[in-house]
C-alpha cells in the first residue's frame, strides 16, 4: 500500500472530525455534504473486498427513497447480493476513523480479513440522478484508484442494474452480459417469450402508467422501451425534468401516505405503479369507479407471484420447496392468506433486503418482498437446473410448457436484488397470462387497516428490538405500554423500530378499522415520544 499517496488523496476527502455515521439498513445514508469522505473510504473498502474475494465488487451512490438532499452508498458483493454482514463492521470502522488513524485502520482490516494486497482489485461503480451523486462517485473512484484498483464507471444506472452487472461479471457471463444492453436484451427476450403465451396476446395493447419518482427509473425505462414489444405501452410520469426526486411521489410516498403520487392522472380502474428513487422498489395501485384509492403493495405482489409459481410447480410435478419471506410490516391479512389459503410457509425476518435475501436462499424457490415493494424471487441452482432440463427434454407437453414458462420467469427475474423494472415486467406478464385485471388481483384478500408513522427522537439507538423487530427491548417500559395500547383495539398489533435509513423511529399499527389503526399508531407514537426522548413538539393526531 502506498501510504504517501493514501495520505495525499485522503486529505482531498477529509473526514469532519468527530463525525460518526452508522452503517444502516442498506449502507451509509446521510446529508450529501457529510458523505465525501465516506465515499472515498468505501472506494478503499471495495478495493479490499475485491482482493479478499478475488471478484468484482459494486459501489452504488444513492440514497434511494430519501429526500434529494441526502445521499448514500450501497455495496454489492460478488454474486450481486448486499455486502456480507461481516464486512459491515469494517465499513463502519473505516468510515469513522479519524484522519490520522486511517492507515492503521486499513492495515488492521487487511490483517483481520486476510486481504492479499498483491491481488488485482476490480470495482464497478454506479450512481443515481441526485445532484450530489456525480461528485460523490468521483470520491469512490479516487478511493479505488489510490489502492491500485481497476474500476468501471457505469455512470447513471438503477441500483438493481449495478447488482446485475456485478453478478454477470463474476459468473463470467453465465448470468448475462455485464452491460445495460445485456440487461435490456435478457429481460425483454424473456418477457416476450412469456406474453406470447397469454390468452389475450395479439388483441391490442396493454397500458401501464408509471410514476418514476423523478429518478433514475425514468431514464432507464426510456432506454429499455425500444426493446419492449409494441403490445406493451408504458407511460412514464415524474421523469425528473420538472420536479424534485421523491418529492410527493415514488413508491415510498405512495405506500406511506396510501394515496396517489403528484403528477400522475389516474382514470378509474387504470393500472398504475410507482418506482422509488433508485428503482429497486415498486408498488401498484388504482382508483375504483367510486374514486377510492387502492394500494397493491409488496405483500400483494408476493402473493400474485406465489400463486403463479405454485401453479406452475404443480404442473411440472416437482416437489420443490417454496416459501415466502416477509418482515414485521407485512399486512397480517397477507400472511394469513399465504399460510391458510395458499398453504405456503411464511417466514418473518428483520427489515432490510439483505435479511430477506439470506433467508430466501434456504429454499428451492424463495419469494421475498417487503411490504414497501422491495423484493424478488430466488431459485436455488438445483431448482433452476431441474426446470431448464424439463423445459428442454420433458416428453409430456403440458409439463414441458409449464417448465418453459418457469424458465422464462427465471430469466426475467433479477435474482440479485429487488428490481422495479424486472418486477414490473414479471407482474405484467403474470396478469396477462392469467387474464387478471388489477381489481381482481386486489381482491385476493383485503388488507387489515394499517398506518405507518415516524417520530423524531434525540437518539434513535435507544430503541432496541427483538423477535424480528416485533418487540422493543429498550427503553424500559415501552413494550409494556405498546402491549396495553394494543389491547384496547380489536384485531390489532403494533411495533416500533429505529429506521436504518432516516433519522426517525418508525411506528406500524394494524386494527379492525382505519380509525382504530390511526388512533393506535398515534398513541404508540406518543409513547415513543415520551419514553424514547422525543424531539420537537409531540406528535399530533
Which residues make up the interface to ligand G16 (CB under 6 A)? 25-26, 64-65, 276, 280-281, 351-353, 370, 372, 374, 499-502, 506
Q: Which of 30, 50, 55, 64 is catalytic?
A: 64
Looking only at the bridges linking them, the beta strands covering 322-327 and 293-296 are unpaired
CB of 17 to ligand G16, least distance (A): 27
Cell of 143: 478511493
Rounded distance between C-alpha atoms, residue 6 and residue 15, angstroms:
14
DSSP 288: -
> Measured from the CB atom, is 25 or 198 closer to ligand G16?
25
Please report, in angstroms and rounded to a whole number, the separation of the first and last CA atoms in the chain.
Answer: 57
E strand or H helix at 295: strand 293-296
Output 369 or 379, the one with its CB closest to ligand G16.
369
Q: Shortest approach of ligand G16 to residue 503 CB, angstroms?
A: 10
Distance between CA atoms of residues 407 and 218, nearest Å: 28
Q: What contacts 273, CB < 8 A, 6 or more positions away?
A: 208, 209, 210, 211, 282, 283, 284, 285, 424
Q: Which of 26/313 has CB closer to ligand G16? A: 26
Give dist(CA 128, CA 357) in Å, integer: 23
Separation CA 465–CA 540 (nearest Å): 25
Q: What distance in Å separates the CA atoms of residue 284 and residue 301, rounded to the nearest whole number? A: 8
Read off the DSSP letter of residue 160.
Answer: H
Q: Provide the 3-class DSSP secondary structure of residue 471.
A: strand
Sign of the CA dihedral with 346 first, then 347, 353, and 357 last: negative
Closest contact distance (angstroms) between CB of 371 and ligand G16 is 9
* Closest distance to ligand G16 from the beta carbon of 465 (Å): 11
Nearer to ligand G16, 276 or 407 (CB): 276
What H or E segment, with its residue span, contains residue 211?
A: strand 206-211
Q: How many CA atoms lie within 13 A of 344 on its CB side?
A: 32
Pick the closer one to ligand G16 by CB: 351 or 376.
351
Nearest distance from C-beta of residue 237 to ligand G16, angstroms? 19
In the bound complex, what is the minimum distance in angstroms from residue 199's beta carbon to ligand G16? 35
Which residues carry a binding-site annotation for substrate?
A: 370-372, 497-501, 506
Closer Cβ to ligand G16, 229 or 500, answer by number: 500
Please, which residue, 149 or 160, has the CB nearer to ligand G16? 160
Whether 110 and 44 have beta carbons less than 8 Å apart is answered as no
- Whether 416 and 168 have beta carbons less than 8 Å apart is answered as no
Residue 374 Cβ, how far from ligand G16 at the closest point, in Å? Answer: 5
Q: Helices 102-112 and 3-12 sit at what angle, rounded to 10 degrees?
A: 120
User: Is 64 one of the catalytic residues?
Assistant: yes
SS3 of 474-495: ECCCHHHHHHHHHHCCCCCEEE
Positions marked catalytic = 64
Amino acid at each position: 500500500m502506498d501510504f504517501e499517496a493514501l495520505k495525499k488523496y485522503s486529505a482531498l476527502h477529509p473526514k469532519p472530525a468527530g463525525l460518526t455515521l452508522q452503517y444502516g439498513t442498506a449502507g451509509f445514508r446521510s446529508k450529501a455534504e457529510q458523505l465525501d469522505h465516506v465515499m472515498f473510504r468505501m472506494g478503499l473498502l471495495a478495493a479490499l473486498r475485491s482482493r479478499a474475494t478475488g471478484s468484482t465488487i459494486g459501489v452504488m451512490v444513492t440514497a434511494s427513497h430519501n429526500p434529494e438532499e441526502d445521499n448514500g452508498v450501497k455495496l454489492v458483493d460478488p454474486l450481486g447480493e448486499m455486502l456480507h454482514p461481516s464486512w459491515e463492521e469494517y465499513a463502519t470502522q473505516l468510515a469513522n476513523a479519524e484522519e490520522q488513524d486511517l492507515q492503521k485502520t486499513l492495515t488492521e482490516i487487511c490483517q483481520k480479513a486476510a486481504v492479499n494486497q498483491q491481488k488485482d482489485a476490480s470495482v464497478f461503480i454506479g450512481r443515481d440522478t441526485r445532484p450530489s451523486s456525480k461528485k460523490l462517485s468521483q470520491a469512490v473512484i479516487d478511493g479505488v484508484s489510490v489502492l491500485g484498483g481497476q474500476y468501471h464507471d457505469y455512470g447513471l444506472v438503477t441500483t438493481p442494474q449495478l447488482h446485475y452487472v456485478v453478478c454477470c461479471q463474476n459468473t463470467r457471463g453465465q448470468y448475462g452480459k455485464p452491460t445495460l444492453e445485456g440487461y435490456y436484451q435478457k429481460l425483454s427476450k424473456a418477457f416476450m417469450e412469456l406474453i406470447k403465451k397469454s390468452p389475450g396476446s395479439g388483441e391490442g395493447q396493454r397500458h401501464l402508467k408509471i410514476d418514476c419518482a423523478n429518478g433514475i427509473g425514468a431514464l432507464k425505462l426510456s432506454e429499455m422501451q425500444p426493446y419492449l414489444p409494441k403490445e406493451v405501452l408504458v407511460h412514464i410520469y415524474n421523469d425528473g425534468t420538472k420536479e424534485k426526486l421523491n418529492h410527493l411521489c415514488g413508491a415510498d410516498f405512495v405506500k406511506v401516505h396510501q394515496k396517489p403520487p403528484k403528477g400522475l392522472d389516474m382514470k378509474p380502474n387504470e393500472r398504475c405503479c410507482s418506482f422509488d428513487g433508485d428503482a429497486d422498489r415498486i408498488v401498484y395501485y388504482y382508483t375504483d369507479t367510486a374514486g377510492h384509492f387502492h394500494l397493491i403493495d409488496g405483500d400483494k405482489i408476493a402473493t400474485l407471484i406465489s400463486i403463479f409459481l405454485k401453479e406452475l410447480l404443480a404442473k411440472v410435478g416437482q416437489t420443490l420447496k417454496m416459501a415466502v419471506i416477509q418482515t414485521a410490516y407485512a399486512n397480517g391479512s397477507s400472511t394469513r392468506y399465504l399460510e391458510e389459503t395458499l398453504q405456503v410457509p411464511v417466514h418473518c425476518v428483520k427489515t432490510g433486503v439483505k435479511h430477506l435475501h439470506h433467508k430466501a436462499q434456504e429454499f428451492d424457490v424463495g419469494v421475498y418482498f417487503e411490504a414497501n415493494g422491495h423484493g424478488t424471487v430466488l431459485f436455488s441452482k438445483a431448482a433452476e437446473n431441474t426446470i431448464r432440463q424439463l423445459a428442454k427434454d420433458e416428453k409430456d407437453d403440458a409439463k414441458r410448457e409449464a417448465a418453459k414458462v418457469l424458465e422464462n420467469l427465471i430469466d426475467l427475474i433479477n435474482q440479485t436484488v429487488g428490481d422495479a423494472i424486472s418486477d414490473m415486467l414479471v407482474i405484467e406478464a403474470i396478469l396477462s397470462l392469467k387474464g387478471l385485471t388489477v381489481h381482481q388481483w386486489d381482491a385476493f384478500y383485503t388488507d387489515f387497516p394499517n398506518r405507518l408513522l415516524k417520530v423524531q427522537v434525540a437518539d434513535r439507538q435507544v430503541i432496541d428490538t427483538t423477535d424480528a423487530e416485533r418487540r422493543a427491548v429498550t427503553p424500559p417500559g415501552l413494550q409494556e405500554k405498546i402491549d396495553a395500547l394494543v389491547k384496547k383495539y380489536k384485531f390489532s398489533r403494533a411495533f416500533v423500530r429505529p429506521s436504518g435509513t432516516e433519522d426517525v423511529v418508525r411506528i406500524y399499527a394494524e386494527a379492525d378499522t382505519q380509525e382504530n389503526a390511526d388512533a393506535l399508531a398515534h398513541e404508540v407514537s406518543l409513547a415513543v415520544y415520551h419514553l424514547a426522548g422525543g424531539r420537537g413538539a409531540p406528535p399530533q393526531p
